[in-house]
Chain A
Amino acid sequence: MDKGKWFILITGLIIGAIAVVLVKLGNPPNMGFCVACFERDIAGALGLHRAGVVQYMRPEIIGIVLGALLTSLFAGEFRSRGGSATLVRFIMGMFMMVGALVFLGCPLRDVLRMAGGDYNAVVGLIGFICGVGGGVWFLRRGFNLGQAEESHSKLGGFVLPVIFAILLFILLKGTVFNPEAGGPLFFSKEGPGSMTAPVLISLAAGLLVGFLAQRTRLCMSGGIRDFILIRENYLLIGFIGIFLGALILNIAFGFFKTGFTGQPIAHSMHIWNFLGLFLVGLTATLLGGCPLRQLILSGEGDTDAAAVVLGMIIGAAICHNFMLASAAAKAAAPGVAAVAGGPGIYGQIACVVGIAVMAIIGWSFREE
């Protein structure tokens, strides 16, 4: 194995380990790092949706973008660029979030959930692989969202990182803009949004992941895509590293517990676990990168990726406002009925519509 592959394997191990340590320090179980869940929490903190249990200005996301920004500036890779079907990418970001919230996690959390023993995540992985395969099918038929152009001004590339820096400032300062309403920023008092590692540790973890992922080009959908397309395993090794890193620490901390039921923030509606991540895999492949990769590209000055990130945040708000997001399964407790979990009818429709929209985009954007 060459040097690059060792580096991405070690990167994966570190990211997997960091995720479990963040759980140990207070983040939601099997969710040390979930790009989709945490962007959804950010939408909640801003008051864009009213799901009281998933509102927090997650410093991990801010750290990833700022970490990638600083790394790309030092490496001379920061370039303000964009103009490759930007609005289409924004809409695709929204649907990528629909898929993630039907499954309950982005591809990164899927790996972390598998490393925690959650079999539902294996069903999700199969859906994800099939979705990536679907994306590859369109790529082979000449799918191309078009060329991005480098801007004559660097300013555009700084817009999203600066927005996140301002949000970090507001988080650290603790300003409440509307005390009567209790926010923004809104913070969950119960549920996953209330489960948080200490702010500065979360931020440092994000910065480190931003640095590592920028250097290695780590990408969940890319790993599977490259293997299908050209039998290249470089990115896949990072994927496996995350799984192993998280698995080892989950066992060490006693978090590892196998099964379909009783898994944290998960549901066992197999078809929707499959289709949710199918939609994410398909969309990510057409976009050229998974939700994590979109954050890294945003930090490097890619304004098309920034549009995807904003699309995901707005998409999350829509998911919760329009009841598209899945409910987590819960066992009955004294005085509380059991929840079967899974998406409601609107979430199911949105997921299928999302797959249809991606197919239309995939077919329409063929070259020649």
Chain B
Amino acid sequence: MEKVDVRGLSCPLPVMKTKKVMDQGTSEILVTGSTAVALENVSRLAQARAYKINVKKSDKNDWEIELVK
């Protein structure tokens, strides 16, 4: 499982960092973030790329999601 930490990053870095790992063909990614905006954007990217989203920690300001393909 590849880990991506996007806590405290400005737009669009959370999406870019996640996308970079996706582009390497990784099928399991654990993303940790700290804003609702980043959660929405990363989730939208995951849906567009047909990843399944498993929410590990759902606090808007301290979240963790697992993306599986």
How distant is B58 from chain A, measured CB to nearest CB, in Å?
A: 12
Contact, CB under 8 Å: B9 / A222 = no
Bitwise, B10-35 to A at CB < 8 A (1) or not (0) is 11110110010000000000000011
Contact, CB under 8 Å: B15 / A147 = no
Contact, CB under 8 Å: B61 / A79 = yes
* A residues less than 8 Å from B52 (CB atoms): none
B60 at interface, CB cutoff 8 A: yes
How distant is B22 from chain A, measured CB to nearest CB, in Å?
A: 10
B40 at interface, CB cutoff 8 A: yes
B48 at interface, CB cutoff 8 A: yes
Cβ < 8 Å to A, chain B residues 37-59: 37, 40, 44-45, 48
Q: Which B positions have Cβ atoms within 8 angstroms of A?
A: 7-13, 15-16, 19, 34-37, 40, 44-45, 48, 60-61
Number of interface residues of A (CB under 8 A): 26
* B residues less than 8 Å from A184 (CB atoms): none
Contact, CB under 8 Å: B61 / A147 = no
Q: Identify B19's interface contact among A75, A219, A230, CB under 8 A.
A: A230
Contact, CB under 8 Å: A147 / B16 = no
Q: Identify A230's interface contact among B35, B45, B61, CB under 8 A.
A: B45
How distant is A340 from chain B, measured CB to nearest CB, in Å?
A: 39
A144 at interface, CB cutoff 8 A: yes
Can you name 25 A-B pairs with beta carbons within 8 Å? A75-B60, A77-B60, A79-B35, A81-B34, A139-B12, A139-B13, A144-B9, A144-B13, A147-B7, A147-B9, A148-B9, A148-B10, A217-B37, A217-B40, A222-B12, A229-B15, A230-B12, A230-B19, A230-B45, A232-B44, A232-B48, A234-B44, A288-B10, A288-B12, A304-B10
Q: Which of A76, A84, A145, A230 has the most B CB atoms < 10 Å from its CB?
A: A230
How distant is A153 from chain B, measured CB to nearest CB, in Å?
A: 15
CB nearest to A148 among chain B residues: B8
**Docked pose: A75 CA to B12 CA in angstroms:** 22
Q: Which 5 pairs across A and B sit closest by C-beta, in order of nearness?
A: A288-B10, A147-B8, A148-B8, A288-B11, A77-B36
* A residues less than 8 Å from B9 (CB atoms): 144, 147-148
A190 at interface, CB cutoff 8 A: no
Q: Identify A150's interface contact among B15, B36, B60, B61, CB under 8 A.
A: B61
Bitwise, A64-108 to B at CB < 8 A (1) or not (0) is 000000000001110101001000000000000000000000000
Q: Identify B60's interface contact among A76, A139, A217, A219, CB under 8 A.
A: A76
A287 at interface, CB cutoff 8 A: yes
How distant is A86 from chain B, measured CB to nearest CB, in Å?
A: 12
CB nearest to A147 among chain B residues: B8
Q: A147-B7, A150-B34, A230-B12 are in contact. List 12 more A-B contacts (CB 8 A).
A: A75-B60, A76-B60, A77-B60, A84-B10, A148-B8, A148-B9, A150-B61, A217-B37, A219-B11, A225-B12, A232-B44, A288-B12
* B residues less than 8 Å from A234 (CB atoms): 44
CB nearest to A83 among chain B residues: B8
Contact, CB under 8 Å: B10 / A287 = yes
CB nearest to B16 among chain A residues: A139
* A residues less than 8 Å from B7 (CB atoms): 147
Contact, CB under 8 Å: A226 / B12 = yes
**Docked pose: A139 CA to B35 CA in angstroms:** 20
**Docked pose: A79 CA to B60 CA in angstroms:** 10
**Docked pose: A225 CA to B48 CA in angstroms:** 17
* B residues less than 8 Å from A150 (CB atoms): 8, 34, 61
Contact, CB under 8 Å: B8 / A81 = yes
Contact, CB under 8 Å: B60 / A230 = no
**Docked pose: A150 CA to B35 CA in angstroms:** 10
* B residues less than 8 Å from A232 (CB atoms): 44-45, 48
* B residues less than 8 Å from A217 (CB atoms): 37, 40
CB nearest to A143 among chain B residues: B13
Contact, CB under 8 Å: B8 / A84 = yes
* A residues less than 8 Å from B61 (CB atoms): 76-77, 79, 150
**Docked pose: A148 CA to B36 CA in angstroms:** 15
